[in-house]
Amino acid sequence: MTIPGALAELFSLAGQRALVTGASRGLGRAMALALGAAGADVVCASHAPGGAAETASALRALGREAWEVSADLADRDAVLALADAAERAAGRIDILVNNAGTIRRRPARDHAIEDWDLVLRTNLDATFLLAQRLGRAMIERGAGKIINIASLLAFSGGITVPAYTASKHAVAGLTKALANEWARFGVQVNAIAPGYMRTDNTRALREDPGRSSEITARIPAGRWGEPEDLAGAVIFLASRASDYVSGHVLVVDGGWMAR
């Protein structure tokens, strides 16, 4: 991917250092590569050690620096240790993409509290802890970009995913709360709400022929999103082009929400 002419500077991430959680696969992998294509060096976080090796080597093939860190983001101490490791590796983090997330599909009446805890800790607590830990240094430097990955379920309730929906509504609210406090320090906090994207997270839906065709029929673009469909949004929110954009939840959904 190349950015032509006068626009290059506005969208360039050259010299910027990003941390992307959940960079092993799916949306996180695609966003890490998009940031790299725009010039950023990237710390790739995965759940298990070695999980983001392929993403890191794809970034190096683009000529970028790439580092790997890992942690179970459902473990608060491990989240903070991951932030330390990321800063040690890259020197500083200018762009934080809080992407890692998990989902448990189970009706509310049977939703186990262990599933609730796992989803809330991974999707929400880790997002707050990483933003707080790395945001402090951004505030001191007077510059930084935090991009949280929300969902269409930051706006509606979904079916049989109560913990996930609660976590994503909270991610949207947290995005605005942090943005309100930190915009004055030159730190922009925004979110991306992806629509129905073709990743492991949505495999169960695609494998259910009824749900799959119901969903596809409601997407004005007429197709599910591919992870690469987030490239433009993440580069925009990570770059100078979005310096006056704060507390926004950018929907990238092929038109689903407008329907």
Stretch that binds ligand NAP, among 68-76, 108-116, 174-182, 213-221 (CB under 6 A): 68-76
Distance of CA 232 to the CA centre of its chain: 13
Pick the binder of ligand NAP from 3, 51, 177, 241 (CB under 6 A). Answer: 51
202 interacts with ligand NAP by CB under 6 A: yes
**Is 244 a catalytic site residue?**
no
28 interacts with ligand NAP by CB under 6 A: yes
Cβ proximity to ligand NAP: between 51 and 173 the closer is: 51
Cβ proximity to ligand NAP: between 101 and 135 the closer is: 101
Question: Taking a C-beta distance cutoff of 8 angstroms, is the pair 127, 171 a contact?
Answer: yes
Task: Residue 2: count other Cβ atoms within 10 Å of its Cβ.
Answer: 6
Cβ proximity to ligand NAP: between 202 and 242 the closer is: 202
Q: Which two tokens stand for residue 96?
A: 């934080």
Give the DSSP letter string of 36-56: HHTT-EEEEEESSTTTTHHHH
Q: How far apart are CA 86 and CA 82, in angstroms?
A: 6
What is the side-by-side order of every strand in the sheet holding 41-46?
Answer: 66-70, 41-46, 17-20, 95-98, 144-149, 187-194, 249-252
158 interacts with ligand NAP by CB under 6 A: no
190 interacts with ligand NAP by CB under 6 A: no
Which residues does the annotation mark as catalytic?
A: 164
List contacts with ligand NAP (CB under 6 A).
22, 24-28, 46-48, 51, 72-74, 99-102, 122, 149, 151, 194, 196-197, 199-202
